[in-house]
Structure 1
Amino acid sequence: MSLKLTARVVFAAGVLALASACQYAKSPEEEVSVSADSSYIPYQKYTLDNGLTVILHQDDSDPLVHVDMTYHVGSAREEVGKSGFAHFFEHMMFQGSQHVADEQHFKVITESGGNLNGSTNTDRTNYYQTVPANQLEKVLWLESDRMGFLLPAVTQDKFENQRETVKNERAQRVDNQPYGQRFEKTSEALYPPSHPYSWITIGYTEDLDRVNVNDLKAFFARWYGPNNATLTIGGDIDIQQTKKWVQKYFGEIPAGPAVAEPEPKPVTLDETRYVTLEDNVHLPLLQITLPTVYARHPDEAPLDVLSDILGGGKASLFYKHLVKAGIAVQAGVSHPCRELACEFQMIALANPAKTQDLAALHKAIEATLKDFEQRGVTADDLARTKAGIEASTVFGLQSVAGKVSLLASNETFEGEPDLVAEDIRRYNAVTAEDVMRVYRKYIKDANAVVLSVVPDGQSGLAAAPQNFTFDERDLPPADPMQASVQEADLATSFDRSVMPEAGPVPVVEVPEYWQSALAPGITALGITSQETPTVTLSLSMEGGILLDPPGKAGTAYLTALMMNESTQNYSNEALANELAKLGSSISFSAAGRYTQVYVQSLTKNITPTLALLEEKLFRPAFRKEDFDRLKERVMQGLQQQQKTPSVLAKRARDLVLFGDENRVSFPDSGTLDSVQAITLEDIKAFYHRYYNPSQASVVAVSDLSQADVARGLAFLSDWQGEEYTIPDYQPFPEYNDQHVFLVDKPGAVQSVVYMVKRSLSYDATGDYFRARLMNFPLGGAFNSRINLNLREDKGYTYGASSSFLGGKTLGWFEVSTDLTRANTADGIQEIFNEINQYRKQGMTAEELLFLRNAFTLSDALDYETPGSKARFLRKLQSFNLPDDYRRQQVDILRNIGLDELRDVAREQLSPGQMQIIVVGDKATLAEQLSALELPIIEFSVVTNTRESLN
């Protein structure tokens, strides 16, 4: 984002500082904090009489606003036996309030062209939305109503519904995922049962079952008052008008009970606690967690630097000793810090081909720490960390949302919104001696929680026998007679039931872009923007995985991985070290139709970054040891994916849609058999044949001129290569009847469901575009019919959606959801009911208005960041779109009618042509699925075998 209020940003000696900043006149009711020596993000801060802290940040570079309401309450404020309340309330806050109807918060923001969400962690809950600038008053009306007038709308039905939704979320994210319970088990072993970090934020299902609606209301009344909240507003705002609106909507809400700041509660361990978790996994995992300090403790920064040296990327010791040595498939170190306590985490996924058990992996980690002791901290170690901080700071300021989130978080926990300069100062002050001191104090020979996650029935692979016993939870008795909590009628000076009108629609200009021919065959599109001193650049080569040799799916993917490894002049670690010291990144990937190279850099470091790009692109080393390690890693990853329900479902979807004779039916990384067949010579041959400029294109977004970008990429003119063609597809499978393809996942607590049919490839203004418009009220928004039915009405799922997905040559329609095991067949039937009714009746006039507003007003959010600008350019480039395609889309939307959209629905939504894919527990699903009266085929995506079950 543009820092127009701050004149310009100066980078000196690795430290960010402001050259100048706007000064605001002080008034009695506000305290302003913007100064050149202490602030990076300009803001105004003041407090209402009821205790609500308000922070305003003005940035008029894009016609949008981001609003964040942060409450200083997370799961750490919960009581034993009532875990999950903070997260539960995150859900309840979207269920309507006294003057806002059920589900209207999502509808109003979506219809306004915005997006929204909420999040909860141990220490805070926040609700945020980004909208066009003319919608700000509407957002403040919504936020104030759920702060001051929520309880009258909280009903037993809503409580029960959201309780089921939260259970579904836990099942999907924790219980039905490989390794999903590791954080819960680590927390229980690391902290005593009374410590608020001893349970994870989503809580325990048994706790959700034992509480009632009045418990929840009491939690809200205790913690959700304005005096425990921070309202942060940033973007294209009028400061004085915004203050008037804030006073109008929030000033009349009374303060809640006084809230004391929590005291840090770091813990210590009297012995190392070994814990073993048997799970449905392929790769054994070792996680070592040591207690340290708490957020912003003087030792936090040195510990962060230590974690980066040990396990932060390819220049780290964990990469050298564990990953590159082939002992681990992945390994890393982190130091997550929270308000009450921090944890030093060392984690590694064992490579079963070279590591017998986790005891051996544990010894390898201990040897790595010993090596660090002997080696010490180098100048490059510190340079990498500090460059990373500078780069992440600048990139974090590219969006209003990023700046607002930072201001809100700092104010909530530290009472000071802008700590950017302070954070940079304290990390720059870290010395090698500081790092070694904290290593000796907190890590060397320290007690830890050592968690071994091993495949079911293989506890012998654990690092050591379990010596820690998880105590039975000592729960207070549930109180079914909890007194009802009623909110008193609040006096209000205006009619809150009237939603504010939006202001004039902001004028959104499509970014001006330039076009250059960098070399024969290479076209570059670029946008020059002065908002941040950064460069975002991508190089795309068309073909990608579609160019894989027959029987060797994964060649393009492995080639891209190899391009991220050693070059002729740099070892892997040396190259990673040079990039990290610049705060830059260069990554190669192959996915779908393209092989891509993605580059990010601070503008001041773009010249050496592009020199490293030239080295990586033109002089890969293709060393056998790198190839062997990466091939083994890919194969182990593919075996692990066979344990993940969502991955199995996507593989089944692709095979059902496109058959086993087409490359697109298999993962980008290939299959176990195909990867096994790939040789290093295949990789070299793929590189020499397909890494060439004949089908290459470049996108660049930066503060550099067109000429500067062309000069920087002049080395591409030396790129040579022959033309190549992309193979045609083999015939796709045809189905005369509808089937249920059941992939057995024994013990799965949920069923991953897809309903699919081949459909249209992408177009910007034709049938595909109209099909996507038609689908929006059916399954394309949170308030869509399918999601409201399955999630809000039935409680069968955490979320459900439908979509048309189209690429350059292929497309399909899908409905996807994770359903409770007991309601899998019911959920499928409800989806069909919704589709059939929609085909018959079409969308309503209200839904058409919702669609038009959501689509046409969202332009304000489409071009804000360098990333969003680059996506716009890539779409123009990939599909050869006209400059005004967006205007044409708006014209279509304004003129399309209900009859035409109903015709599109009848043509494109054919339930009888949709194949159903279910990944779940066959033993409990077979009987209920038979009630659908469709042929059931047991389908193995690993062996691609099919067997009829009826």
Structure 2
Amino acid sequence: MKTLTRKSLFRAFLFFGLLIPFLAWGQKSGQTKLNIPFEKYQLSNGLTVVLHVDKSDPMVAVAIQYHVGSNREVKGKTGFAHLFEHIMFQRSENVGEDEFFKKIQNAGGDLNGGTGNDGTVYYEVVPKNALELVLWLESDRMGYLLNTVTPSSFANQQNVVQNEKRQRMDNTPYGFTNYVIDKHLFPDGHPYSWQVIGEMEDLQNATIEDVKNFYRKYYIPGNATLVIAGDIDPVQVKDLVEKYFGEIPAGNPVSDLPKMDVSLDQTKRLYHEDNFANAPRLTVVWPTIHEYTSDAYALDFLGELLSGSKKSPLYKVIIEEKQLAPRVMAYNNSMELAGKFTISVMANPGVDLDAVESAINEAFARFESEGFTEKDVERIKAKLETQFYQGISSVLMKAFNLARYNEYAGDPGYIEKDLASLMAVTSEDIWRVYRQYIKGKNYVMASFVPKGKPELATEGSVAAGIKEENVEQAMEAKPISSEQEGAIQKTPTRLDRSKEPLLGPEPVVTLPKIWKAQTKNGISITGIEQTELPLVQFSLILKGGQTLDDPEKPGVANLVALMMKSGTKDMTAQELEEAIELLGSSINVYAAPEAIFFEVSCLDRNFEKTLDLLGKMIFEPRWDPKEFEIYKKRTISTLTQRKASPEYQAQIAYNQILFGKDHILSFPVAGSESSVALITLDDVKKYYSSNFAPNAASFQIAGYPARKRVLASMKVFEKKWPAEKVVLPAVKSPASSEKPVIYFVDVPGAKQSVIRIGCLGLPRNHPDFYPATVMNYRLGGNFNSVLNMILREEKGYTYGASSYFNGMKNFGLFIAGASVRSNTTEESLRIFHESIQKYPTETTEEDLVFTKNALLRSNAMNFETLGSLVDILDNIALYNLPVDYVQKELDVLQKITLDEYHALAKKYLNPNRMIYIIAGDAATQLPKVQATGIGEVVQYVF
């Protein structure tokens, strides 16, 4: 379950990555043609239904958008929309406790939900034979849930949501930023003046009757849009929708809220000493306007022009020239009722935020004097076109778009107007909104500074007055047993809703056809042709990555990857960036433990031009000293900032202890502050010349281009890349732990303890790797897993607990973990230890059947997007897997027995040979952990 925010289209992927609209296209003309194939109708009770047929894959997505977010709450009763989202996953009159996830996963599907300021959405993606099951489940919780909201289930979800707040806000650097901004940007009582997750006090004081009244008012058919998209027969689907949703009472109509755009009569400056921040951060926010207005579209462009590229004035002044920060963002966020424009600067450690404020003003002055060109505007529009296509690569994304447009624009097909409005933005529009909303206008400025350094805040700032929770004295809602609560009273219905629909015939899943080739100079090429959209996604992988770094100077591979975008022989970094964006393409380069990745997406018509730019980046790197110093300083600053995060501290401790401090993989890929400070441009060039060779490279592509066209386009890589050979050195395998040891990392004042548990696992290509992954599914690989059900659903100690096997080329890891409320650290640790210890003997045949069903049936959804196809090809290249490895793993899954399952668990899950990492408040939790008796307790210092 997620909390959602809607940013501008440039930041739309933050809202599930799904607010990019559905398009049809004409490849020959190269022009975007809008066509929205949907059917919309309404049931007699007011439920709006939208159907979209897409038979490209045997699957269906169902999304229900309820027009109820945190903006429907009132002061003193905040967080109800999000809290009820959690309750909706518990049970209903005809669906047992925690059965929603179990039934969908057993059918091979996925489900979740999210709450934002303006609405709440629930979704399922399933093989097409499970559609009736989904409609039964969704209709039961829409119309027949209220009687099941008992003191026990309510108390449990109160605890879970409070832990979610601690994890996302209270226990993370800068977690209270939006809280401070919104409280002072919007007037008291405005629906956006509180956070979606709500106030802790309100969550603790909420009553069952409070949330029941909220449900009765807003969770009604007339306040929702149901979208069914995928491989469907509309005639049959209409009958099913009427069958399951038709008799749900209509309820009282819900009126739309009026627009509530705001203005400030004065500028407000605030600061907060952040317990988890290592560096200062400045956030400046101006009130703007609600969504779907001409001004909102122009403000989106303004944000991109101010910070979205290397030529943007905020980047130029703050990062390149004054080197005050590693990153800066400017963006507009227009929502249903109002909007806001944000500039956020994550400053370098020790930087006085007065200097950052001055730099922002200097950037504005430069923007006004130098302006921007029509080419800049066209560059942004080109970027948008590709983003639109990328946002429709799955039926789920289409379902989200249709649902949201219907609820908030009144028309599922509003996409045509939405895109037209974006493409109609002019330079004059951008200047107009800059003058109307930003230039000389009042704003809210929030300085978040490290604890004990208020002098870094901007001049004139006053304390934000954040009231932080004392977790040791935290109120905990006490669930009672379901036996004490008695039987659930069922609502009389014409349909016998107690009968769960059976799954239809298993759909036939066709595995993608993979073609394989090799260039004359040794580059391995694999591809999958998919012509649903005019898109191409490809990757070029150079094996080695971080493992080729010197342990005395880690971080070189990371800087090599960063420098790949610093320009070419004939183009500066800025010119290269513009050339890529004018094509509507994106090229992302990053280093990983075992490889450097070049990940590329583009429109099909621009494939060759984009590939040519990639070639220039690889063959003709610019090695610009100025860019190198910027990247180097940015990396050091980022490493310093990350160290403040308890999650990050736990992960670094895990790596150092498991691998040993002299092992290259004990370091982050980016290195350490001290090692990066020592790296020179010559080190980067040496890594490049020694390790960039065709025999270490592989090329993976999915999308429109056929094999012949791809191979013809790769000729340039044959001509310009000499057939040199690189020998990748063997990576030293770390020693296994022989006994359980608990390492405690002190994070003073932590509201949660981050727990990481694990041991060495298996390489990705080991015969037991996939069987071990199957075995782990029941332990910690899904929502209904042993660990999550105990720690989250039964105890309410965490927002989520999980475990997984992470396979690399040479070895692998097993990791289990959770972030738990601080005062439950000791018991949570015991639960992890006991659950892992019992697991090899407690798994039943029923558990195995559930695991097989979930994984086998979900196979229908594994090949829908270009990204998922490239992932398959990347696995083949990185781990030397056979081309048909997907089929081979399916065969393993079908044949695995319970005895084999138990043997795998016994072999690879021994809690008495694992390490236990806790990053939490030592003053309150260390003595309790020492009393567990699990193993020796060591206070770990980096």
Q: Which amino acid aligns with 2:927?
A: E
Deviation of 1:422 after TM superposition, in Å, equals 1.2
| CA distance, structure 1, for counterparts of residue 493 and residue 97 of structure 2 | 22
Residues 514 and 883 of structure 2 are in contact (CA less than 8 Å); yes or no, is this contact kept in structure 1?
A: no
| CA distance, structure 1, for counterparts of residue 463 and residue 421 of structure 2 | 38
Which deviations, in whole Å up to 9, do the C-alpha atoms of 1:214-249 show, x marking residues without a partner?
A: 111111111000110100010101111111100000
Structure 1 residues 736 and 858: CA distance shift in structure 2, 3 A: closer
Deviation of 1:879 after TM superposition, in Å, equals 2.7
Q: Which amino acid aligns with 2:722?
A: Q
Deviation of 1:11 after TM superposition, in Å, equals 8.2
Q: Which amino acid aligns with 1:387?
A: A
Unaligned 5+ segments in structure 2 are 1-17, 469-476, 478-484
Number of the residue aligned with 1:320 = 316
Structure 1 residues 288 and 528: CA distance shift in structure 2, 3 A: same
The number of aligned residues is: 902
Within the alignment, does 1:283 sit opposite 2:283 as a pair? no
Residues 71 and 228 of structure 1 are in contact (CA less than 8 Å); yes or no, is this contact kept in structure 2?
A: yes
Number of the residue aligned with 1:253 = 248
| CA distance, structure 2, for counterparts of residue 658 and residue 178 of structure 1 | 27
Structure 1 range deviating more: 398-407 or 511-520: 511-520
Which deviations, in whole Å up to 9, do the C-alpha atoms of 1:847-866 show, x marking residues without a partner?
A: 11101100110111010011
Structure 1 residues 735 and 429: CA distance shift in structure 2, 3 A: closer
| CA distance, structure 2, for counterparts of residue 742 and residue 57 of structure 1 | 53
Number of the residue aligned with 1:871 = 871
Match of 2:405 among 410, 417, 428: 410
Residues 406 and 418 of structure 1 are in contact (CA less than 8 Å); yes or no, is this contact kept in structure 2?
A: no
Structure 1 residues 8 and 376: CA distance shift in structure 2, 3 A: closer
Structure 1 residues 487 and 442: CA distance shift in structure 2, 3 A: farther
Structure 1 residues 849 and 756: CA distance shift in structure 2, 3 A: same
Which deviations, in whole Å up to 9, do the C-alpha atoms of 1:349-369 show, x marking residues without a partner?
A: 12347xx41111111111111
| CA distance, structure 1, for counterparts of residue 24 and residue 222 of structure 2 | 34
Structure 1 residues 515 and 638: CA distance shift in structure 2, 3 A: same
Number of the residue aligned with 2:3 = none
Q: Which amino acid aligns with 2:812?
A: G
| CA distance, structure 1, for counterparts of residue 562 and residue 882 of structure 2 | 34
Structure 1 range deviating more: 417-426 or 181-190: 417-426
Number of the residue aligned with 1:916 = 916
TM-align CA RMSD: 2.1
Structure 1 residues 217 and 854: CA distance shift in structure 2, 3 A: same
Deviation of 1:759 after TM superposition, in Å, equals 2.2
Residues 292 and 418 of structure 2 are in contact (CA less than 8 Å); yes or no, is this contact kept in structure 1?
A: no
Q: Which amino acid aligns with 1:566?
A: G
Question: Aligned to 1:545, what secondary structure does the other structure show?
Answer: helix
| CA distance, structure 2, for counterparts of residue 487 and residue 417 of structure 1 | 38
Which deviations, in whole Å up to 9, do the C-alpha atoms of 1:891-937 show, x marking residues without a partner?
A: 33333222221222222221111111000111011111011123211
Which deviations, in whole Å up to 9, do the C-alpha atoms of 1:722-772 show, x marking residues without a partner?
A: 3222333346245443211011111111000011111222237x3222222
Number of the residue aligned with 1:852 = 852
Number of the residue aligned with 1:761 = 763
Q: Which amino acid aligns with 2:439?
A: K
Within the alignment, does 1:309 sit opposite 2:308 as a pair? no
| CA distance, structure 2, for counterparts of residue 222 and residue 248 of structure 1 | 23
Structure 1 residues 488 and 231: CA distance shift in structure 2, 3 A: farther
Deviation of 1:790 after TM superposition, in Å, equals 0.6
Number of the residue aligned with 1:722 = 724
Within the alignment, does 1:575 sit opposite 2:576 as a pair? yes
| CA distance, structure 2, for counterparts of residue 913 and residue 842 of structure 1 | 20
| CA distance, structure 1, for counterparts of residue 848 and residue 349 of structure 2 | 55
Within the alignment, does 1:17 sit opposite 2:33 as a pair? yes
Q: Which amino acid aligns with 1:312?
A: G
Which deviations, in whole Å up to 9, do the C-alpha atoms of 1:94-123 show, x marking residues without a partner?
A: 001000001101011111111111000010
Structure 1 residues 732 and 514: CA distance shift in structure 2, 3 A: closer
Number of the residue aligned with 2:156 = 161
Match of 1:149 among 136, 139, 144: 144
Deviation of 1:489 after TM superposition, in Å, equals 6.0
Residues 10 and 17 of structure 1 are in contact (CA less than 8 Å); yes or no, is this contact kept in structure 2?
A: no
Within the alignment, does 1:224 sit opposite 2:219 as a pair? yes
Which deviations, in whole Å up to 9, do the C-alpha atoms of 1:263-322 show, x marking residues without a partner?
A: 110110011100101113122111110001111122111111111111123342222222
Structure 1 residues 570 and 454: CA distance shift in structure 2, 3 A: same
Question: Aligned to 2:823, what secondary structure does the other structure show?
Answer: helix
Q: Which amino acid aligns with 1:188?
A: K
Residues 75 and 196 of structure 1 are in contact (CA less than 8 Å); yes or no, is this contact kept in structure 2?
A: yes
Question: What aligned pairs does 1:468-547 form with structure 2 within 5 A after superposition?
Answer: 490-547=491-548
Residues 380 and 577 of structure 1 are in contact (CA less than 8 Å); yes or no, is this contact kept in structure 2?
A: no
Number of the residue aligned with 1:598 = 599
Deviation of 1:876 after TM superposition, in Å, equals 2.3
Deviation of 1:709 after TM superposition, in Å, equals 1.1
Q: Which amino acid aligns with 1:758?
A: L
Q: Which amino acid aligns with 1:842?
A: E
Question: What aligned pairs does 1:200-239 form with structure 2 within 5 A after superposition?
Answer: 200-239=195-234
| CA distance, structure 2, for counterparts of residue 106 and residue 289 of structure 1 | 39
Number of the residue aligned with 2:471 = none
Structure 1 residues 315 and 44: CA distance shift in structure 2, 3 A: farther
Q: Which amino acid aligns with 1:853?
A: N
Structure 1 residues 156 and 464: CA distance shift in structure 2, 3 A: same
Question: Aligned to 1:290, what secondary structure does the other structure show?
Answer: strand
| CA distance, structure 2, for counterparts of residue 672 and residue 367 of structure 1 | 30
Residues 6 and 42 of structure 1 are in contact (CA less than 8 Å); yes or no, is this contact kept in structure 2?
A: no
Which deviations, in whole Å up to 9, do the C-alpha atoms of 1:629-654 show, x marking residues without a partner?
A: 11111111111111011111111111
Residues 133 and 503 of structure 2 are in contact (CA less than 8 Å); yes or no, is this contact kept in structure 1?
A: yes
Question: Aligned to 1:230, what secondary structure does the other structure show?
Answer: strand
| CA distance, structure 1, for counterparts of residue 451 and residue 253 of structure 2 | 49
Task: Give the alignment's TM-score, normalised by structure 1.
Answer: 0.92
Structure 1 residues 209 and 780: CA distance shift in structure 2, 3 A: same
Structure 1 residues 850 and 299: CA distance shift in structure 2, 3 A: same
Question: What aligned pairs does 1:44-55 form with structure 2 within 5 A after superposition?
Answer: 44-55=39-50
Within the alignment, does 1:898 sit opposite 2:898 as a pair? yes
| CA distance, structure 1, for counterparts of residue 938 and residue 488 of structure 2 | 55
| CA distance, structure 2, for counterparts of residue 253 and residue 304 of structure 1 | 41
| CA distance, structure 2, for counterparts of residue 906 and residue 470 of structure 1 | 52
| CA distance, structure 2, for counterparts of residue 776 and residue 453 of structure 1 | 40
Deviation of 1:256 after TM superposition, in Å, equals 1.8
Structure 1 residues 863 and 736: CA distance shift in structure 2, 3 A: closer
Which deviations, in whole Å up to 9, do the C-alpha atoms of 1:307-340 show, x marking residues without a partner?
A: 1111123342222222222222100100011101
| CA distance, structure 2, for counterparts of residue 886 and residue 440 of structure 1 | 56
Number of the residue aligned with 1:300 = 296
| CA distance, structure 2, for counterparts of residue 772 and residue 523 of structure 1 | 28
Q: Which amino acid aligns with 1:784?
A: S
| CA distance, structure 2, for counterparts of residue 444 and residue 888 of structure 1 | 62
Q: Which amino acid aligns with 1:349?
A: M
Structure 1 residues 771 and 584: CA distance shift in structure 2, 3 A: same
Structure 1 residues 891 and 731: CA distance shift in structure 2, 3 A: closer
Deviation of 1:459 after TM superposition, in Å, equals 1.3
Question: Aligned to 1:816, what secondary structure does the other structure show?
Answer: strand
Deviation of 1:471 after TM superposition, in Å, equals 11
Q: Which amino acid aligns with 1:915?
A: I
Residues 134 and 504 of structure 1 are in contact (CA less than 8 Å); yes or no, is this contact kept in structure 2?
A: yes
Question: What aligned pairs does 1:2-13 form with structure 2 within 5 A after superposition?
Answer: 8-9=25-26
Number of the residue aligned with 2:165 = 170
| CA distance, structure 2, for counterparts of residue 398 and residue 191 of structure 1 | 37
Number of the residue aligned with 1:698 = 699
Task: Give the alignment's TM-score, normalised by structure 2.
Answer: 0.93
Residues 276 and 465 of structure 1 are in contact (CA less than 8 Å); yes or no, is this contact kept in structure 2?
A: no
| CA distance, structure 1, for counterparts of residue 765 and residue 588 of structure 2 | 29
Residues 379 and 582 of structure 2 are in contact (CA less than 8 Å); yes or no, is this contact kept in structure 1?
A: yes
Q: Which amino acid aligns with 2:391?
A: G
Q: Which amino acid aligns with 1:792?
A: E
Residues 41 and 403 of structure 1 are in contact (CA less than 8 Å); yes or no, is this contact kept in structure 2?
A: no
Q: Which amino acid aligns with 1:712?
A: S
